[in-house]
Amino acid sequence: MRQETHPVEDFLFTYYPFKVGQLKKWHPGPGVRVALETAEDRRYFDRRWYRIDDAQNFAEVDLESWRTDRGDGAKFIASLLSSTLGREANFGCFGIHEWAMVYRLTDEQRRHQQVPLRLSPAETDAVVEGHRIQCSHHDAFRFFTAPARPLNTLQPDREGMIANEQPGCLHAGMDLYKWAMKISPIADSDLVVDCFDLALDIRTLDMEASPYDLRGWGYGVVAIETAAGKAEYMEQQKDFSGRAQALRARLLDALAVAGVHPR
């Protein structure tokens, strides 16, 4: 409301193209009939992918129209969720992707210029060069600087997402919010908010373990360039992975109710 930028939380509304109003819109989920007791209730559900039964005075998700419009894209989402759910987690990346995004950049070139780096540019570059980088997430890898790209053991692309996505990846966990919103109104609002909460928690670790110094914003430091920081990062990463796997299963259940299954 104050029109102030925030280096951590804004990500959920800039990188992910969903406005606050969309997040606040309530959805009961497929297979749930909502009694329409007032004219306001009726107006609320007079929107896309809902149908109103005037005879019995209820509203519900119109699965047929939703599948016609969004079914093909939802099959890709179901396939991605299913393959990730069944894959072994990798907990050895230590968040180096954020460091690779500033590798060999000047202060003027990097994002979040309102936030200083924790280490000098040379020390920051040395962290990247001193680690084995194994980022499997395309949408993180594509923000690597040009000199950092060859240092990654993988070269993930969008076409290989289903083959490469793994449940230990922080960005894969954050993306569950994106998938929940993209299949709207199939994911009920409790599920959407749980995905959003996980994304915000992961984003916090992502930035606390990054090269940026966010202590002035009230955040801590997970110094992944140290053994203690790596242990702390991995502990949180494992917790987030468990939460993400449970949410993947719930998203797949919602899609199955809507008649969408992995390819």
What pLDDT sits at residue 114? 82
Please name which of 71, 13, 67, 59 lies closest in space to residue 200, comparing C-alpha atoms. 13
Rounded average pLDDT over 17-34: 95
DSSP alpha helices (H): ranges in 111-169? 121-129, 138-141, 161-164
Neighbours of 151 (CB within 10 A): 17
Q: What is the pTM of this model?
A: 0.95
Report residue 23 as tokens: 């997040």
Q: Which residue has the higher pLDDT, 103 or 112?
A: 103
What pLDDT sits at residue 117? 95
Question: Which of the four pLDDT bands, split at 50, 70 and 90, describes residue 113?
Answer: confident
Rounded average pLDDT over 6-34: 95
Task: Judge contact between 155 and 140, C-beta under 8 A.
Answer: no
Report residue 25 as tokens: 């819109």
Phi-psi map region of 58: left, alpha, beta (phi>0 left; psi -120 to 50 alpha): beta
Average pLDDT over the chain, rounded to whole? 96
Compute the distance between CA of residue 47 and CA of residue 251 in angstroms, rounded to an integer.
22
Q: Find residue 53's DSSP bridge partners.
A: 58
Q: Is pLDDT at 112 greater than 90 in this prediction?
A: no
What pLDDT sits at residue 119? 97
What pLDDT sits at residue 230? 98
Rounded average pLDDT over 194-210: 98
Task: Judge contact between 68 and 40, C-beta under 8 A.
Answer: no
* pLDDT tens digits, 240-260: 999 999 999 999 999 999 999
* pLDDT tens digits, 143-172: 999 999 999 999 999 999 999 999 999 999
What pLDDT sits at residue 208? 98
What pLDDT sits at residue 133? 95
Rounded average pLDDT over 110-115: 82
Rounded average pLDDT over 58-73: 97
Burial class from Cβ neighbours inside 10 Å (0-12, 13-18, 19+) for residue 176 reads buried
Q: Is pLDDT at 54 greater than 80 in this prediction?
A: yes
